[in-house]
């Protein structure tokens, strides 16, 4: 199969045609690129799992353009779900609610709940509107690889596997949506993201952050290896330990690279590095592109620990998985 990469009106028109014909299309969102299909078309949804090589017990997120899109998708909107939607949608958040009857079980991996997201990215919204149906989508990477934040990342993983990639430039947020389960009494964060626990607590009074044993695959990255570059990756706390990890790797004959914020890069004595910028927002936006670049130019990645506060905590949630938990 030939994989087209298109922009603008032409891309949206062609994308919507393909979706209506039961095909899979990659599209941009503010978080990461998604691999979408008509959420009500069981056969189309199965193609997503095939293209990604994703286990079928890992559910997808259903994307809508506006509140009208909720019709038929959910059977109950709890007070907390309502409050989250009012404050944070459209935006980088997914709310888990009780599913409607029409949603195929392949979308929810057999669960009686469904994840709903309303992207703020203008291209995603136009695309979903043009399709005229909710779009089920996970991130547009091969299962376990790094999530894509531009069309080129998607092409590297999906060339020959899907008919079309809609190119909408770089994802502004850069990591996957915050996932909140609002189907239970106390809303629970299943995956941290750019909308933090503190921000949610302001609206909800209290949220639970996920901790404890994993029984079923409820949130990504808990049961499966995720966000992993193709080479060994470690996390280093501060410039000094990053430098040491780099030198140790080089002494073993490896070609290392350090991924860090600007002020840390300045302390690396000219060692090969990828500069993410200084602010938390820049670090979040650039982290996946840096991991993509890192695995290309090096065979050992040392990533700085950015701390566990606010959005950096969400970035570290991904980076620690990339590193398989390995800190030096």
| Residue 114 interacts with, from ligand AMP, Mg ion, none (CB under 5-8 Å by kind) | ligand AMP
CB closer to ligand AMP, 81 vs 219:
219
* Cα distances (angstroms) measured from residue 47 to each of 53, 55, 149: 10, 12, 21
Which residue, 131, 92, 132, is CA-closest to 115? Answer: 92
Q: How far apart are CA 113 and CA 75, in angstroms?
A: 9
For residue 189, CA distances in Å to 19, 58, 93, 220, 302 come to 31, 17, 10, 12, 28
- Looking at beta carbons only, is 78 or 139 nearer to Mg ion? 139
Of the candidates 303, 294, 13, 58, the one whose C-alpha atom is nearest the C-alpha of residue 176 is: 58
* Contact set for ligand AMP, span 105-164 (CB under 6 A): 108, 111, 113-115, 138-139
- 168 vs 221, which CB is nearer to ligand AMP? 221
Q: Which does 96 bind (CB under 5 to 8 A by kind): Mg ion, ligand AMP, none?
A: ligand AMP
64 lies in the site for ligand AMP, by CB under 6 A: no
Name the nearest CA neighbour of 311 among 275, 287, 327.
287
Look at strands 25-27 and 164-166 and give their pairing: parallel
Q: Per CB under 5 A, which region of 132-140, 234-242, 262-270, 318-326 contacts Mg ion?
A: 132-140
**Cα separation, 323 vs 328, whole angstroms:** 11
Stretch that binds Mg ion, among 80-88, 97-105, 134-142, 272-280 (CB under 5 A): 134-142
Please report how close the Cβ of residue 85 comes to Mg ion at its closest, in angstroms: 22
Rounded CA separation 77/74 (Å): 7
- 139 touches Mg ion by CB under 5 A: yes
Helix (H) or strand (E) run with residue 295 in it: helix 280-297
Tell me which of Mg ion, ligand AMP, none is bound by residue 219, counting a contact when its beta carbon lies within the kind-specific cut-off of 5 to 8 angstroms: ligand AMP
Site string for ligand AMP, 230-269 (x = CB under 6 A): ----------------------------------------
Residue 90 as a binder of ligand AMP (CB under 6 A): the answer is: no
3: left (phi over 0), alpha (psi -120 to 50) or beta: beta
Judged by beta carbon distances under 5 to 8 A according to partner kind, the member of ligand AMP, Mg ion, none in contact with residue 113 is ligand AMP
Footprint on this chain of ligand AMP (rule: CB under 6 A): 58-61, 96, 108, 111, 113-115, 138-139, 176, 179, 190, 218-220
Q: Which residues bind Mg ion (CB under 5 A)?
A: 139
């Amino acid at each position: 199969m030939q994989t087209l990469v298109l922009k603008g009106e032409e891309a949206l028109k062609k994308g919507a045609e393909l979706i209506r014909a039961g095909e899979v299309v990659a599209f941009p969102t503010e978080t990461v690129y998604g691999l979408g299909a008509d959420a009500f078309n069981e056969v189309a949804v199965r193609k997503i799992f095939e293209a990604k090589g994703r286990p079928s017990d890992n559910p997808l997120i259903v994307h809508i353009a506006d509140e009208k899109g909720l019709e038929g998708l959910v059977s109950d909107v709890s007070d907390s779900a309502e409050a989250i939607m009012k404050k944070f949608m459209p935006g980088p958040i997914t709310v888990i609610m009780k599913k409607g009857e029409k949603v195929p079980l392949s979308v929810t991996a057999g669960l009686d709940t469904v994840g709903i997201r309303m992207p703020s990215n203008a291209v995603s919204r136009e695309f979903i509107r043009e399709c005229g149906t909710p779009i089920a989508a996970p991130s547009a990477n091969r299962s376990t690889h790094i999530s894509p934040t531009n069309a080129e990342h998607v092409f590297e993983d999906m060339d020959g596997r899907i008919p079309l990639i809609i190119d909408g430039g770089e994802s502004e947020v850069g990591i996957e949506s915050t996932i909140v389960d609002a189907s239970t009494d106390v809303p629970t964060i299943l995956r941290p993201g750019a909308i933090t626990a503190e921000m949610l607590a302001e609206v909800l009074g209290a949220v639970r952050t996920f901790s404890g044993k994993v029984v079923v695959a409820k949130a990504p990255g808990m049961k499966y290896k995720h966000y992993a570059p193709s080479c060994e990756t470690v996390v280093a706390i501060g410039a000094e330990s990053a430098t040491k990890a780099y030198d140790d790797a080089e002494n073993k004959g490896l070609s290392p690279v350090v991924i860090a914020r600007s002020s840390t890069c300045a302390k690396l004595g000219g060692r090969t590095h990828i500069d993410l910028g200084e602010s938390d927002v820049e670090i979040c936006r650039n982290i996946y592109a840096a991991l993509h670049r890192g695995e290309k130019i090096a065979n050992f990645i040392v990533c700085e620990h950015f701390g566990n506060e606010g959005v950096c905590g969400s970035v570290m949630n991904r980076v620690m998985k990339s590193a398989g938990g390995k800190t030096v």
